[in-house]
A and B are shown apart, each in its own frame.
Chain A
Amino acid sequence: AQSVTQLDSQVPVFEEAPVELRCNYSSSVSVYLFWYVQYPNQGLQLLLKYLSGSTLVKGINGFEAEFNKSQTSFHLRKPSVHISDTAEYFCAVILSGYSTLTFGKGTMLLVSP
């Protein structure tokens, strides 16, 4: 079975600083990878996804992620964060050919002025 590990439960950062949120997955077969953002008491919004092709994926709000098959990682990055980026971020995986999302436990990004 597949699993997702988000190594940091909280990442504090100052406004305009760069940030990286780490995600590792385990699977013996091909996967699709996703990052979602969740603002307080709201549902999940898709930031970006990797299905195939270029390993560098660009998403909404200036976020990007790089799929690294050898490291089984899909880390999320943003070169300069804003206060409004404060939210919970979830990495998720789907086995190729299936439709069930498996989520990590989430990383809370805390952006301060």
Chain B
Amino acid sequence: EAEVAQSPRYKITEKSQAVAFWCDPISGHATLYWYRQILGQGPELLVQFQDESVVDDSQLPKDRFSAERLKGVDSTLKIQPAELGDSAMYLCASSLRALAGGSYNEQFFGPGTRLTVL
């Protein structure tokens, strides 16, 4: 069964360092999402891609976070510099082209990257 892949699964870093997370969506999925899940909270959308284009990054802290999906397949989320408050689970999800034909397409989630900032 096809799955969303993420790496690393766990990352420990010191504040002010740079970190990067990688996501490989299910083959053929045009839409890719990055979510942040703080301990004890539900996931919150950081950025949504349709192919290689950003369609929603309204909640992405752009002073330190960046995301790219250069060839419209895999994606990288970067934080520079990391802060203590960035400690969280970072989840990637993918779906068939969002709103294709006006119908909903299910989002499939990867296992996440657990980031700890010391």
Contact = CB atoms under 8 A, between A and B. Distances in A.
Interface of A: 4, 32, 36, 41-46, 49, 51, 90, 92, 94, 97-101, 103-106
Contact of A42 (B48, B102, B112): B112
- Interface of B, helix, strand, loop or mixed by DSSP: loop
A43 B112 contact: yes
A40 to B, nearest CB: 10
Contacts, number: 55
Nearest to A103: B42
A41 B42 contact: no
A46 B95 CA distance: 13
Nearest to A4: B42
Contact of A44 (B31, B43, B105, B114): B43
Interface size of B as a range = 20 to 34
Which one of A42, A43, A98, A104 has the highest number of Cβ atoms from chain B below 10 Å of its Cβ? A43
Interface of B: 4, 9, 31, 40-45, 48, 56, 91, 93, 95, 98-99, 102, 104-107, 109-112, 114
Given A45-B109, A99-B98, A103-B42, 14 more contacts: A42-B112, A43-B91, A43-B110, A44-B43, A44-B91, A46-B106, A49-B106, A90-B42, A92-B42, A99-B31, A99-B48, A100-B45, A103-B43, A105-B41
